[in-house]
């Protein structure tokens, strides 16, 4: 939904499923290194609300914005170093700020680049000393930075098509 001449409020809902592997060594400087191997198969549902503003002008091509996503994750399988982890469901809060570069008046009107900074975290929970290391790692919040290439296929054609005869 547009607001003003250059603003936009948008929403999005979605779902998906994935397989994921995260394997890395940790603690090599101070302690003996140990290996972490997380493997997951999961489903995810989410809803997102975003607001953005395009700075007008042929030269700027800058859009800035913020988004908030609420995700529900259901694990079909989750293991740490081959052992099952006792987490079946997670709720994640995911705020994000972004800036996008590109404009329909540029040399490549169908191409934009986006830089995003955000975080993914669980709602605040009380400390639970019975939580395993693996469960704590799965539940911890993480910051992220993403660089994305945005393709706008509806702008591939630079000249209007001839009207039918």
In tens, the pLDDT along 9-33 reads: 999 999 999 999 998 887 767 777 7
Contact 95, 125 (CB under 8 A): no
Query: Please, what sign has the CA dihedral across residues 60, 66, 72, 75?
Result: positive
**pLDDT of residue 8 exceeding 90:** yes
Q: 29-51 in b/e burial notation, b at 16+ Cβ within 10 A?
A: eeeeeeeeebbbebeeebebebe
What are the backbone angles phi and psi of residue 132, rounded to the nearest 5°? -75, 165
In tens, the pLDDT along 86-129 reads: 999 999 999 999 999 988 777 888 999 999 999 999 987 777 88
Q: Is 37 helix (H, G, I), strand (E, B) or coil?
A: strand
Beta pairing partners, 22: 38
Alpha carbon of residue 47 to chain centroid: 12
Predicted structure pTM score: 0.80
- Name the E strands within 6-61: 7-26, 34-55
In tens, the pLDDT along 51-77 reads: 999 988 767 789 999 999 999 999 999
Closest CA to 45 of 76, 77, 68, 13: 13
Number of Cβ within 10 Å of residue 72's Cβ equals 14
């Amino acid at each position: 939904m547009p607001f003003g001449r250059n603003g936009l409020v948008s929403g999005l809902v979605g779902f998906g499923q994935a397989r994921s592997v995260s394997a890395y060594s940790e603690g090599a400087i101070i302690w003996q290194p140990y290996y972490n191997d997380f493997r997951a198969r999961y489903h995810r549902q989410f809803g997102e609300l975003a607001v953005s503003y395009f700075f007008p002008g042929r030269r700027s091509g800058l859009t800035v914005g913020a988004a908030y996503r609420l995700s529900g994750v259901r694990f079909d399988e989750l293991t740490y170093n081959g052992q099952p982890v006792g987490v079946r469901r997670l709720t994640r809060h995911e705020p994000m700020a972004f800036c996008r570069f590109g404009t329909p008046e540029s040399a490549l009107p169908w191409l934009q680049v986006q830089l995003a900074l955000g975080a993914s975290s669980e709602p605040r929970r009380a400390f639970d000393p019975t939580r395993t290391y693996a469960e704590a790692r799965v539940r911890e919040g993480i910051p992220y930075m993403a660089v994305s290439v945005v393709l706008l296929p509806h702008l591939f054609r630079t000249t209007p098509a001839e009207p039918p005869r």
